[in-house]
Every structure is written in C-alpha cells, then in structure tokens.
Amino acid sequence: MLRTFAFASALLFAGTVEAYWQVAPYPELDRSRAAAEKYVDVQAALDDGYRPMFGCVAHASHGAMGVHYIHAGRLNDGTLVLEEPDTLMSEPQPDGSLKLVAIEHIVWEKDWPSRVPPTFLGQRMRRKTSVGHHQVEPFYEIHVWHWRDNPSWLFGDWNPAVMCAPGEIAVGAASAP
C-alpha cells in the first residue's frame, strides 16, 4: 500500500499522471482507433453518411472540440457500438483542410433504459444538454482523443491543444464541462 502511494505521489509531483492514464493499455481503444482510422479522409466520412454540424466548437479557456461530423443513423440508433462512432471531430488546418482529432460516442438520455449514466470504454459517460453554446436534447457522451494528445485527459470534452482557426485562441462556447 505504501509503495503504491509513493508511486502515485511521484507521478503527481512529476506532473505525468495525465500522460500515464492516456497511455494505459486498453485493447478497446486500439479497436476503436482502428475502426475510425478510415475517417482521417474527410471524404470517407462523408461517403459513410457523416455530415458537419455546429461549425467549430470552442471554449475561451478550455480549448476546443473542433468541427463535429455527425452520423444521424448511428446517433439515433439508441446503441453504443465501439467500432461505430456517432461523431467525428476535426480541427481546421492552415491550408483549409480538416484533421481528424477525436471521436465521440453518444446515446440520447430518452433512449437509455436506466437513470444511471452508461459506462463505455471503462468510463462513466457525461450527461449533456448542449454542444458548446448550442442547446440540444439531453444525451450521454464520451470523447476519445485518438489523433491529438489532450493535456486535459484522453476522454475530456475540451482539448486545449485544438484550435478552431490556425493560430487563434479558442472562443465561443457559453459553458465548459
């Protein structure tokens, strides 16, 4: 017990706890990333039925999520399927292209059979009523930052390393986490 505490304390003081948790081996994460890898090409996402929504979502002090590409069929099927993300999030690049940075799994609160939030990828999903400053029906969600390190957390909503416009500080969302 003391040895575990000493290790955890050393990690905390070294400032590497987030990095440790982000590289923890989860076979499900490997499967999730592999399944979504084809969407690095935005055209592949469009061909598969994803459509852009909300523009680039950002927060003045927490970072950004990027441009959301939502698959309506997956979003509205009431299920959580590891290999089928409901949303893809991309960051605008200086040349006008988009770079895939994360995926998101969503289930509408009305479709979830329990009052207890779902657990997915070993994490309790967060209940939300907005995307940035856009109000939406209540839902549960989890982000997975597969293609961009997130100093906040692998499963965090906002990523301070993502920007909505190259070189621009993220602005726009009314509330954070």
Task: Give the start-to-end residue ranges of the domains of the chain.
Answer: 2-144
Residue 14's pLDDT is what?
39
Residue ranges in the chain whose pLDDT is less than 70: 1-25, 166-177
| 103 within 8 A of 159, measured Cβ to Cβ | no
User: How many Cβ atoms from other residues are within 10 Å of residue 131's Cβ?
Assistant: 21
* pTM of the predicted protein model: 0.79
The amino acid at 54:
F
CB contact at 8 A, 123 and 105: no
d(CA 25, CA 23): 6
Q: For residue 111, what pLDDT is reported?
A: 96
